[in-house]
């Protein structure tokens, strides 16, 4: 991922005010240091002060293939030094309206005693001056205006906002290069989960890879004993396997998990949506009824897997995981009106890396509404702040819906599924009505931490409508 950075100034000032150019250029260097992160390249073109330099900078940013552009306004500068850069770069731009100090030292300033020196000192502090001009021109040219206003150093708000924009751009970059595996078919009759894959590709840049059950079956049949036993050992070390689990079921789950890992690696899959029924006694039924542990392990390792062929939710899970929040498959279970919490979870795979304590493995005599029987995972999402994300499709548009709440302690349903208790600041009843009124599918992704601000910036970068419930 690459981030572009440039500052703006006015060349007419340099011969008039000694040291001003060097001082303002150093401010751009301080912003460069703020943007530095592992795995991100900063393309810093320094201080742009003429229209000729702006045109060259625009070409340079475009050639560098940047993902996001930061414009640091150091002093008054002409909007004609901004528009050519933004037009040619072709990526979202964030205006940094950052003053070098929280306030001018008026006594020291007025004691300078030299009008030229005083004007130069003022110009070093007037970053706010051209921002209305720049915003006006960008909006008239059809560009979105994003801005951060504050102090260059020691301003927590500024640092948080920069972090959020960089993280949002990083996740947008991940989504644009993600290969989404699609295996099987939709759950019959769930009209809300049917997806427009073209809309998903257009919104996120997703690459779709259709996967065959036959491919998974062939891989599974060709596994060596060592490959299966290695995954068996992982299951025993990563899960709290309950005593009533049949060893034969553990072997079956390990075999399917090992095949899933190979399938994902072979096709370079970064996320997946699946559902399959097959027919009783068929090899594919044996596979699909033993995928839960393997899909949970893939999800925890950065390859989120959504059941019921819920492609939109595989996207939501990948977004949450890319933000480092996890992203577990979930839906309403029930409402506890006495404790004012919403019970949410899902059967099938869960994001075990964000579990509260060890994830239990339990045998189920039947997968409700699905074929077969076998092992399943039981976990709650880690207690503390959480964010819910739903990727919505409506009239050909993709939208993002979020809510922030808390995963709280309390009794859960010990039915071999993922399930948690969530409390929301607007209350359980208001949350349900507001969330439902936004028209989501009945699935969503839940992750740890409060990251609604970052998800909103992702929506801004991608041009998607964003709704926040709480």
Instruction: Give the end of a domain, one of 119, 144, 175.
Output: 175
Strand order in the sheet with 374-378: 240-241, 360-364, 374-378
Pair 416, 271 in one domain: yes
The pLDDT mean for the chain works out to 94
CA dist list (Å): 418 to 187, 315, 343, 373: 20, 19, 10, 17
Number of domain units in the chain: 2
- Average the pLDDT over 165-180 and give the result: 98
Which CATH number is 364's domain given? Answer: 3.20.14
Q: How far apart are CA 380 and CA 328, in angstroms?
A: 10
Q: What is the pLDDT of residue 421?
A: 96
Q: Residue with structure tokens 């552009």? A: 69
Q: Is residue 346 part of a domain?
A: yes
For residue 105, tell me if it sits in a domain. Answer: yes
Region 424-452: mean pLDDT is 96
355 and 207 fall within a common domain: yes
Tell me if 469 sits within 8 A of 431, measured CB to CB.
Answer: yes
Choosing from 112, 145, 175, the residue where a domain stops is: 175
Mean pLDDT of 105-116: 89
Query: What is the pLDDT at residue 278?
Result: 86
Tell me how far CA of residue 278 lies from CA of 212, 365, 373, 441, in angstroms.
13, 18, 14, 25
Domain-terminating residue out of 141, 175, 209 = 175
* Helix intervals (H) in 177-290: 197-204, 213-221, 225-238, 247-266, 283-288
CA–CA distance, 265 with 262 (Å, rounded to integer): 5
User: Are residue 358 and residue 282 in the same domain, yes or no?
Assistant: yes
321 falls within a domain: no
Rounded Cα distance between 445 and 422, Å, is: 13
The pLDDT-based confidence of 20 (bands split at 50, 70, 90) is very high
> Any idea of the CA torsion for 372, 376, 378, 381, to the nearest 10 degrees?
-100
pLDDT in tens, 111-164: 888 889 989 889 999 999 999 999 999 999 999 999 999 999 999 999 999 999
Distance CA 308, CA 398 (A): 20
pLDDT digits (tens, 9 = 90+) for 440-450: 988 999 999 99
CATH code of the domain containing 21: 3.40.50.10940
Q: Count each helix (H run) and each strand (E run) in the chain, helices first.
A: 16, 19
pLDDT bin (cut points 50, 70, 90) of residue 369 is: low
Specify if 93 maps to a domain.
yes
**Which residues partner with 360 through β-bridges?**
240, 378
Structure tokens at 393: 């499709």
Q: Are residues 165 and 201 in the same domain?
A: no
pLDDT digits 0-9 by tens, 260-302: 999 999 999 999 999 998 888 899 988 988 999 999 999 999 9
pLDDT band at 368 (very low <50, low <70, confident <90, very high): low
Least confident of 332-336, 348-352, 403-407: 348-352
Q: Is residue 22 part of a domain?
A: yes
Is 310 found in the same domain as 188?
Answer: yes
Same domain for 143 and 186, yes or no, is no
Domain range for 364 is 178-315+326-468
Domain identity same for 144 and 187: no
Together in a domain, 9 and 90: yes
In a domain, 320, yes or no: no
437 and 298 in one domain? yes
Whether residue 228 sits in one domain with residue 339:
yes
231: tokens are 């995954």
- Residues 26-60: tens digit of each pLDDT: 999 999 999 999 999 999 999 999 999 999 999 99
Shared domain check, 102 and 220: no
Please tell me the distance from the alpha carbon of residue 336 to that of residue 241, in angstroms, as a whole number.
Answer: 29
Tell me, yes or no, whether 169 and 183 share the same domain. Answer: no
User: 363 pLDDT exceeds 90?
Assistant: no
């Amino acid at each position: 991922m690459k981030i572009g950075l440039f500052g703006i100034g006015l060349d007419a000032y340099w011969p008039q005010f000694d040291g001003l150019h060097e001082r303002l250029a150093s401010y751009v260097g301080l912003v460069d240091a703020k943007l530095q992160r592992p795995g991100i390249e900063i393309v810093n073109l320094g201080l742009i002060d003429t229209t000729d330099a702006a045109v060259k900078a625009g070409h340079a940013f475009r050639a560098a293939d940047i993902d996001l552009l930061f414009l640091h306004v150091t002093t008054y500068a002409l909007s004609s030094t901004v528009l050519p850069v933004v037009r040619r770069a072709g990526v979202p731009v964030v205006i940094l309206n950052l003053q070098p100090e929280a306030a001018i030292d008026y006594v020291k300033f007025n004691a300078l005693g030299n009008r030229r020196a005083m004007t130069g000192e003022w110009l070093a502090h007037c970053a706010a001056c051209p921002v209305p001009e720049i915003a006006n021109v960008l909006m008239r040219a059809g560009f979105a205006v994003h801005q951060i206003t504050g102090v260059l150093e020691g301003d927590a708000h500024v640092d948080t906002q920069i972090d959020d924009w960089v993280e949002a751009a990083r996740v947008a970059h991940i989504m644009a290069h993600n290969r989404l595996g699609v295996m099987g078919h939709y759950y019959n009759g769930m009209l809300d989960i049917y997806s427009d894959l073209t809309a998903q590709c257009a919104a996120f840049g997703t690459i779709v890879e259709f996967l065959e059950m036959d491919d998974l079956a062939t891989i599974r049949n060709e596994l060596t004993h060592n490959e299966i036993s290695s995954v068996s050992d992982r299951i025993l070390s990563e899960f709290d396997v309950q005593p009533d689990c049949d060893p034969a079921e553990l072997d079956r789950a390990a075999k399917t998990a090992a095949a899933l890992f190979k399938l994902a690696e072979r096709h370079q899959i970064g996320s997946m949506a699946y559902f399959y029924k097959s027919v009783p006694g068929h090899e594919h039924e044996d596979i699909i009824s033993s995928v839960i542990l393997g899909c949970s392990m893939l999800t925890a390792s950065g390859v989120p897997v959504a059941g019921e062929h819920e492609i939109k939710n595989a996207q939501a899970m990948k977004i949450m995981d890319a933000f480092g929040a996890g992203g577990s498959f979930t839906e309403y279970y029930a409402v506890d009106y006495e404790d004012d919490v919403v019970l949410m979870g899902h059967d099938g795979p869960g994001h075990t890396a964000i579990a509260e304590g060890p994830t239990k493995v339990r045998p189920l005599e039947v997968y409700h509404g699905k074929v077969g029987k076998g092992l399943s995972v039981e976990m709650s999402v880690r207690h503390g702040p959480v964010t819910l994300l739903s990727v919505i499709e409506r009239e050909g548009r993709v939208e993002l819906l979020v809510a922030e709440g808390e995963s709280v302690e309390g009794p859960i349903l010990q039915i071999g599924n993922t399930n948690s208790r969530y409390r929301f600041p607007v209350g359980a009843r208001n949350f349900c009505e507001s969330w439902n009124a936004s028209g989501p599918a009945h699935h969503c992704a839940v992750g740890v931490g409060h990251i609604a601000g970052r998800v909103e910036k992702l929506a801004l970068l991608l041009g998607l409508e964003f709704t926040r419930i709480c």
